[in-house]
Amino acid sequence: MPGLDDEGSPPSTSPTTTSESAPSDSPATPDSLSASLEESEVAGIAAVLTAIDSGEPLPYEEDGQTFQNREGLLPQQPIGYYREYTVETPGSPDRGARRLVIGDGGETYYTADHYASFTLIDPGDFEP
């Protein structure tokens, strides 16, 4: 039946994520993305993007370093094309698992599981 999946349920509206495959070229919609993220994730993403845009120092030495895409989940690009940034993980004794990965073309990916999957996001959805 049109509009239903194989089990007769409405199609999922979850954000664009990947696990062992390349992410979709379309960013997750703000409604679907915010529904799946914790408030601390949204605030953390916004804080990192604001710091990058304003040139503020970032808290971790690794922030802004090359992300090499060893997992091969993001579109293949030359080494140095992607940069990684830490998104605070409340309660974590270290950097935690949350990261933003930003390409030279501005494409921005979020991972909450230390690169096991990615969601293509629109940074404009996280402006303060």
| Active site positions, annotated | 84, 114
* Residue in 16, 30, 37 with CA at minimum distance from that of residue 118: 16
The dihedral sign for the CA sequence 103, 105, 110, 111: negative
Sheet holding 99-103, edge to edge: 65-67, 82-86, 99-103, 108-111, 119-121
Q: Which residues, listed in sequence order, are joined to residue 99 by a DSSP beta bridge?
A: 86, 111
Structure letter (DSSP) for residue 74: S
Collect all residues with Cβ–Cβ distance below 8 Å to 110 and sequence separation of at least 6: 41, 45, 87, 98, 99, 100, 101, 118, 119, 121
